[in-house]
Structure 1
């Protein structure tokens, strides 16, 4: 076992250790420049997805908003509560600035990867769509690269479907046990039953669940943070000043100074918003939209919500409180967030946080399951295999919740995500010219006065597109 752990540890060092984060940052800046700062130019347009006027008229289709909420539900999780606290503890307040910076860069990366997933999506017999980097590899790079798509799919199942779902179950059960004294067995059983009901209902039931759960958890958490900000409004300028001063080395809150702030901010930001990691495009491809760039813009908004809104909420809760002491050892992680909430609002706040963790983790579980399901369909079309995956994932959620030590078995999760991200970056580099063509087409239609551009597959006849997914006509209103 130690040999296996060392092997995966080496993979983790070769990806997350020194190469992947700089690659993601540099490539994100490269995309931002080549696309003409698309995340800023289309920022106002991102909010259109929230309007009912911009939903497909097909009741059986997954709308752009539903796809957005599923991806927000997946991105928003423990990284927004515990991860931000760790970033501040190890990198100081300046880490928050670098989390914001990588989110702004990642918005462009997310737009590209999700637009490509939309372009190469396939219509299923039930009328829904499937897509993602694996299908982009097969249809965009060629069928001779299917081996690369299979590597991607295996890593996606291992990291998200199995490993991260065990950790989500563990996080919820631990929070419920610590704050409310609820048995891990009870929490695990409830999580497993609810998750089972959702995942056996397929993408439509997942979308409907996300449409309810995600707005509640996101708005609830943001409102709580706003209350705390208003309560401490006099201290806010000092906190913001500290974030910027630490970010650029004008003040040093922890050992390592500006370097620690940059390293922790970039790492935790990328882990939280997942831009460039190749996970969110799987969900982005399910939406029924007129043009691939439309959903790319929507998914760019998802990164903004995750980091600029949710992560900032946690950061201000911590930095406006008196629990966090720069450079001091002691409280960190989720405990720091929890104790900071209690210091602001009283003991009841820990129960509120437990509820938020439950909602965050539940939305992540159903998101992670769908990533695993979508990846499996690239490897096999067997319904039996799909049902086995569903049962295994439900069991893993329960195991992760009831046996805290069991999550150590999933030490391969981060290395597998590292391979996943490397494969995705290679694919993005190779298919970036195709996405730039899409963007040019989208902008040309806007310039011609078309309010809602529509992809005409005849304009991309050299690409292997599913003509049943792209008809050249707008979806029925």
Structure 2
């Protein structure tokens, strides 16, 4: 019965109804227009903000740590197994639509992260926390909708998504080395517990060291494979474009599969619009001290996740003939593709990559759930212990569960979160546009774009003493 309910909801959101595909496209186009194409017009500026992004305060983590924390959650199953699933089900053309949703998603990610930073609060320890539940409650005064989002987030990021990542790690290790999923699941629990016991700051410190290392290493490997197969790159790129628009023999049916799977897996990977990233954005002490600066840095996160890392995986698979070869499930296709490039060591490399990518997601997902404890007055020792126990139990379940069950539950949780968040951020468009124009105009005048309460008109009100 539970499986039937999940399937019914997913069919409305992702399947025949395709509600989320339309919502995400409309939302991305809407904010791209209302913000003047900020993801293209200010493309260089989002990189320039990295220069002074490493300073933290007693209230908040650094902007760079917030970016790495969000990338920790973003970079995981979607970048390796998810891309493989998209190619298996939608062909090479799904990669093009993954790029499209990432480009539009950059504007969506900017908008939601600005709100997350603007409406942040201080928890019982005096540290910044925030996210969609907080901007829905303070900006829209819709407590019931804020609670609904928090419940979906607990279900998704607090529990199910960590199960998905654990499932991918144990499957990769089992395929490469024959390691029992039970033993690898226990190892994941122990390692995760050691890190999350340090709270958000411990997770942020872990992320700022591990994420750049694993990301750069993976991209360098992909660039090497592209260089070794450089003569095949033009044909591969042409295949992506032709498949995306149904210009091959399979026609319109293939195009529909490419659009659906590209957008679905693109969202799952970069998370733009889902409402997860604003939690990381809200935890930062931004530099310059303006909510929009976090919008830029988290917009950069969407770009790095999909346009760089997902593309790297796609090229590895497609250059190995993955779109037309034997249909494989998830991570196995990525491992097989890497083996065809570098021999038997390919499975080892992908196994190591998926362990790094997915484990950082397991850890960062904890932080997102923990940020919502304050909403339910559970931001205390007993509340954290109960949440941590449930989180670790779900990791163990995920490490041994069947792949289709885990993916279906993850899609449902992500879909419900996204519906609520997109409604909220589009409702709050006046605030997003107003505060963005405040930043743009101050920067154009050569002023330091610092924000203070009352500088521009916003919906609702922020917590006293934050700005």
TM-score normalised by L of structure 2 = 0.94
Which residues in structure 2 correspond to 1:246-395 (within 5 Å)? 246-252=243-249, 256-289=253-286, 290-322=289-321, 324=322, 326=324, 329-381=326-378, 382-395=380-393
Is the CA contact (8 Å cut-off) linking 1:166 and 1:407 kept in structure 2? no
* Deviation (angstroms), 1:104: 0.3
- Counterpart position of 1:458: 454
Distance 1:267 1:148 in 2: 24
- Specify every segment of 5 or more residues in structure 1 that has no aligned partner in the other structure, as ranges: 471-477
- Counterpart position of 1:103: 102
- Counterpart position of 1:242: 239
Is the CA contact (8 Å cut-off) linking 1:133 and 1:424 kept in structure 2? yes
User: 1:372-396 CA deviation, whole Å, 9 max, x = no partner?
Assistant: 1112221123430221111221122
* Deviation (angstroms), 1:331: 2.9
- Counterpart position of 1:75: 74
Distance 2:180 2:329 in 1: 24
The yes-or-no answer on 1:147 pairing with 2:144 is yes
- Counterpart position of 2:29: 29
- Counterpart position of 1:473: none
Q: 1:9 aligns with which of 7, 10, 29?
A: 7
* Deviation (angstroms), 1:349: 1.6
Distance 1:461 1:226, change over 3 A: closer
SS at match of 1:457: coil
Q: 1:398 aligns with which of 396, 399, 406?
A: 396
* Deviation (angstroms), 1:124: 2.9
Q: 1:442 aligns with which of 431, 439, 442?
A: 439
* Deviation (angstroms), 1:335: 1.4
The yes-or-no answer on 1:224 pairing with 2:221 is yes
* Deviation (angstroms), 1:407: 8.4
Distance 1:70 1:325, change over 3 A: closer
Distance 1:29 1:91 in 2: 23
Is the CA contact (8 Å cut-off) linking 2:69 and 2:204 kept in structure 1? yes
* Deviation (angstroms), 1:159: 1.3
Distance 1:196 1:467, change over 3 A: same
SS at match of 2:103: helix
User: 1:68-92 CA deviation, whole Å, 9 max, x = no partner?
Assistant: 0111111111111111112122222
- Counterpart position of 2:39: 39
- Counterpart position of 2:466: 469
Distance 2:251 2:91 in 1: 6
Aligned-pair RMSD on alpha carbons?
2.0
Distance 2:415 2:354 in 1: 25
Distance 2:85 2:398 in 1: 22
TM-score normalised by L of structure 1 = 0.92
Distance 1:127 1:22 in 2: 40
Distance 2:456 2:381 in 1: 33
- Counterpart position of 2:170: 173
Equivalent residues, number: 461
Distance 1:384 1:57, change over 3 A: closer
* Deviation (angstroms), 1:31: 1.0
Is the CA contact (8 Å cut-off) linking 2:431 and 2:457 kept in structure 1? no
* Deviation (angstroms), 1:422: 1.0
SS at match of 2:125: coil
Tell which deviates more after alignment, 436-445 or 158-167: 158-167
SS at match of 2:275: coil
Distance 1:33 1:390 in 2: 41
SS at match of 1:103: helix
- Counterpart position of 1:86: 85
- Specify every segment of 5 or more residues in structure 2 that has no aligned partner in the other structure, as ranges: none
